[in-house]
Chain A
Amino acid sequence: MLTFLVRRVAAGLVLLYVLATTAFAMMSLTGSDAARNIAGNLATPAQIAVKKHELGLDRPWIEQYAQWLGHAVRGDFGTSWFGGDSVSESLVLKAPVSLSIVVAGLLLATVLSVVLGVAAAVRRGWLDRVVQATAIVGYAVPSFLMALMLSATLAVQLRWLPATGYVPLADSPSGWLQSITLPAISLAIGAIAATAQQVRGSVIDVLRQDFVRTLRSRGMSERRVLFRHVLRNAAPPALTVLSLQFISLVGGAVVIEKVFGLPGVGSAAVTATVNGDTPLVMGVVVYLVLIVVAVNLLVDLAYGWLNPKVRVR
């Protein structure tokens, strides 16, 4: 198990290095003109040149990257070129916002997709058809559109929930819940649709297997068969879909944070990329890759727990 873990962590670090290098190269070679954006529209070419020199943008990108990497491995991600804030501190402030909506979205997706998927598989008939049709619609509607619709109706029209902004959990638990509800629902709908279908399919497959028939013939109750045996066997494929959905939720959060004016990592990533704020973009890249690697590791561990044969590989 330890070798398995070490291998996974090493693969994660390689992925982090490759993605960070690619991101830095892309920011440097095709990114926007940060010096000009900082200096403003009325800056003269001479002023822009001074700013470029100040930021080190007049040096080859590989040299800039080596310097960034040297600091990054020591945990120093520098300061944002625009706000002047420490990138690490900025991410510490923004990460709870993004994690709140992503984790809440994932929990929502997990609970609802399992409930809907299992109900559709067990009940079949009209419920199955409704779940499938709803899933197709849910999957087809982009999360940003869902966000705009929810915001326009529940927040702006009815004023049930805030249209924008984030309240930290420590400040007000109810305010926090209100501020993340609509973004989390917007994010979760696509994931619910995809995962519910997967759960439904897996449960139907397992229900058709011989061991289920055997268990039933022994007089085991339907509930026990379902919760003790069927769900455990149907879980791994659903877990795979959920882990992929998590990555997709992290990506979706970028747009959702914009729509709801949330000061999260995604929102910062968009602004920083447009402005060409390389230190902040790189900080966000490292943060996101680490999250994705960690989640994949957790999923692998969960697989191992569910199916000991996996650990041998």
Chain B
Amino acid sequence: MRRMVMAGVALALVAVPACNGGAGTTASATGDDTLTLSIGNAHTGWDLASAALGDNIQYYEPVFDSLVRLDTKARPRPNLATSWSYDSTRTVLTMKLRKDVRFTDGRALDATAVRKSLLHNKEGTNEAAGKLRAIDSVAAVDPRTVAIHLSAPDPQLVVNLGDPSGMIASPEDLAAKGGPVGSGPYVLDKGATTNGSTYAFTRNPHYWNPKAYPFDKIVIKNISDPTARLNALLGGQVDWARITPQTAQHAKSRGLEVQGHADSVEGLYIWDRTGRIVPALGKVKVRQALNHAFDRESIVEKLNLGYATATSQMATAGSTWYDTSLESNYTYDPAKARKLLAEAGYPHGFTVTMPDVSSVAPGQQVVMTQALEDIGIKVKVDKIPFTRLFTALQSGEYAMSWFKLQSGQPWDFIQSELAKGAAWNPAKDFDPKLNSMIDKAQRAQGAAQTAAFREINAYLQDHAFNAPWDVLDAVQGNSKKIKVTPRAFVSAVPIYDMAPAG
């Protein structure tokens, strides 16, 4: 009897759930008309003024429509704005708006709504707000026309209006206290949503462009742990998720589609180019020596398992300011690196203290340290918690470190690393020549602007601002029931670039 009880308990615990049909069928709630995504980043609320970018754009896209839509090469295409043009000073951007667009609260989307929404978005302190810094004011010229006045030309503004920065919320509830009110293709299904973990969206029956969104329902699950995210994908519970290069092969072998697309430039970032902390870094030959220290191809293959592209320039391949001819300038050549160090007056190298990045890039830390020691540079690793890393770097505590930044859009990169006051320019305004080049690029347009950005790229490489190794891929996996076309230069894939396979 006792034996039977014990066996019964054990059997019941294991078998009852399986008898209910098994998770393989019920948990895979994604019918053909439902697209289920898994996002690692936590949702930061529905107020667009506090919107984060990167993977977070997928949270906002179902409910808010943007002024422009970015194609797979990140070029702006008409959306809520049907056309746009700059004035001769490139400080007034005039946009014509689509007719007959309504918010889900029934109000019309017009120039006044766009004006209020843009100004509200700009007032925030998160990433989306940061992209609207150049906006001075917005005028509703007539119900279908807005004029965006800038304090200075912003070559990136129109593209940024394709992200949450340019998404438009109902003017009656900009802070989205009761949930999002937009004019997007879907509406939030509050009954099926659990804040912080699962967000469900059903079709907005009044959306003007339903064909662009083939799924009837979108479900977004926030799963922060990469292993859990991969398991959800492998277990058929989600259709799409960001994965890591280390798990890509496993995902492929289990029948998933895996794609990598250019995301950010990884390498040794030199923050102290004035030599304030480490005098040697103030010399261009020393910085050039650093560029000869890394075996880029090996890093791509062995460290990033092929999910990266070797490069020695800051511009991302495929972007307008990328120049193939620059790739041969800094080959892997430790002997040349030592020679350059000697010519700069450092025949025995020097010592540099760098922050510990082993929690996020353990392999990179090992490779970087070894490569530098191979050319005579001794590295002292400072054990600081990762949570303090960004603050420490921005406040100029370290002369150089491993890092990665997106550089697919030249103006964005300039704003984040080179401009005076840029977040990643702890040395601040130190190069008048570069500043004049930036100024020229800012005010140019068309082919002249592209040429000006390319000149900046060449200047950065020639003066060895950093020692980049590769462009890291954003790796993503999806089930074969959907087709995904990644957008260039951003980690996330827009929902409108996902469709049922076949």
Main secondary structure on A side of the interface with B = helix
Complex interface residues of chain B between 385 and 409 (CB less than 8 A to chain A): 385, 387-388, 390-391, 394-395
Q: Give chain A residues whose Cβ lies under 8 Å from the Cβ of B23.
A: 155, 159-163, 178
Partner of B228, one of A90, A112, A164: A164
Q: Is the CB of B196 within 8 A of A261?
A: no
Answer yes or no: B231 CB below 8 A from chain A CBs: yes
A169 interface residue (CB < 8 Å to B): no
Instruction: Tell me, in angstroms, the Cα distance from A45 to B10 when the chains sit together.
Output: 58
From B127, B232, B235, B416, name the one whose CB has the most chain A CB atoms within 10 angstroms. B235
A54 vs B125: C-alpha distance when bound (angstroms): 10
* B324 on the A face (CB < 8 A): no
The total of Cβ contacts below 8 Å across the A-B interface reads 184
* Extra A-B contacts (6), CB below 8 Å, given A32-B388, A40-B130, A178-B26: A42-B415, A93-B196, A155-B235, A164-B221, A165-B27, A177-B20
Q: Name the interface residues of A198-255: CB closer than 8 Å to any CB of B.
A: none
Kindly supply a per-residue 1/0 record for chain B positions 50-62, scoring 1 wherever the CB is within 8 Å of any chain A CB and 0 otherwise. 1011000000000
B501 within 8 Å of A (CB atoms): no
- 0/1 interface trace, chain B 139-174, chain A, CB 8 Å (1 if under): 000000000000000000000000000000000000
A285 interfacial contact with B, CB 8 Å: no
Contact A85–B231 (Cβ < 8 Å): no
Complex alpha-carbon distance, A271 and B224, angstroms: 8
Query: Can you spell out 18 A-B residue pairs with CB atoms less than 8 angstroms apart?
Result: A32-B385, A33-B390, A36-B391, A38-B126, A43-B125, A44-B421, A82-B42, A111-B9, A112-B9, A119-B2, A159-B236, A164-B223, A164-B237, A165-B221, A177-B20, A178-B23, A259-B225, A274-B387
Interface residue from B21, B125, B237, B391 paired with A163 (Cβ < 8 Å)? B237
Given contacts A84-B47, A177-B20, A271-B42, are A163 and B390 in contact (CB under 8 A)?
Answer: no
**Contact stretch, chosen from B11-19, B108-116, B437-445, B470-478:** B11-19
A33-B232 Cα distance, complex, nearest whole Å: 31
B229 near A: Cβ within 8 Å? yes
- In the complex, the answer to whether A163 meets B234 with C-beta atoms within 8 Å is yes
Contact A39 B125 (CB under 8 A): yes
Given contacts A148-B227, A156-B234, contact A33 B391 (CB under 8 A): yes
- Bound CA span A165–B241, Å: 14
In whole angstroms, how far apart are the Cα atoms of A93 and B198 in the complex? 12
B40 to chain A, nearest CB (A): 10
Checking B16, B228, B235 against A159 with a beta-carbon cut-off of 8 angstroms, the contacting residue is: B235
Q: Which residues of B contact A267 (CB under 8 A)?
A: 224
Q: In the assembled complex, which residues on chain A have CB atoms less than 8 Å from the CB atom of B9?
A: 111-112, 115
Q: Which residues of A contact B246 (CB under 8 A)?
A: none
Determine the chain A residues whose CB is within 8 A of the CB of B231 once the complex forms.
Answer: 151-152, 155-156, 163-164, 261
Is A174 in contact with chain B by the CB < 8 A criterion?
A: yes
Q: How far is the CB of A92 from chain B (nearest CB, A)?
A: 11
Write the B206-234 contact mask toward A (1 if CB under 8 angstroms, else 0).
Answer: 00000000000000011111011101101
A42 touches B423 (CB 8 A): yes
Measured CB to CB, the residues of A under 8 A from B are 31-33, 36-48, 50-51, 54, 82-85, 89-90, 93-94, 108, 111-112, 115, 119, 148, 151-152, 155-156, 159-166, 174-175, 177-179, 181, 185, 258-261, 263, 267-268, 270-271, 274-276
CA distance A164 to B52 in the complex (A): 25
Chain A residue with Cβ nearest B403: A41
Bound: A260/B59 CA distance, A: 22
A172's closest neighbor in chain B, by CB?
A: B26
The distance in angstroms between the C-alpha atoms of A84 and B44, with both chains bound, is: 7
- Chain B residues with CB under 8 Å of A268's CB are 196
Residues of the A chain whose Cβ atoms lie less than 8 Å from the Cβ of B47: 84
Instruction: State the CA gap A240–B164 with chains docked (Å).
Output: 54
CA distance A162 to B415 in the complex (A): 44
- Across the two chains, which residue of chain B brings its CB closest to A155? B235
Closest 4 CB pairs of A and B: A263-B197, A32-B387, A159-B24, A84-B45
Q: Let me know if B279 is at the binding interface, CB within 8 A.
A: no
Mark B337-377 against chain A: 1 for CB-CB distance below 8 A, else 0.
Answer: 00000000000000000000000000000000000000000
Contacts A260-B228, A261-B221, A274-B387 hold; do A160 and B22 have CB atoms under 8 A apart?
yes
Quote the shortest CB–CB distance from A117 to chain B (angstroms): 12
B499–chain A nearest beta-carbon distance, Å: 24
Q: Tell me, in angstroms, the Cα distance from A173 to B42 when the chains sit together.
A: 28
Chain B residue at smallest Cβ distance from A161: B23
Q: Is the pair B26, A33 in contact by a Cβ cutoff of 8 Å?
A: no
From residue B427, how far is it (CB to closest CB) to chain A in Å? 13
Task: State whether the Cβ of B447 lies closer than 8 Å to any Cβ in chain A.
Answer: no
**B203 in the interface (beta carbon within 8 A):** no
A41-B423, A263-B222, A276-B387 given; A165·B232 CB < 8 A: yes
Contacts of A260 in B (CB 8 A): 228
Does B249 count as interface, using CB distance less than 8 angstroms?
no
Q: Which residues of A contact B2 (CB under 8 A)?
A: 119
Distance between Cα atoms of A160 and B13 in the complex (Å): 13
Residue of B195, B237, B415, B421 near A165 (CB, 8 A) is: B237
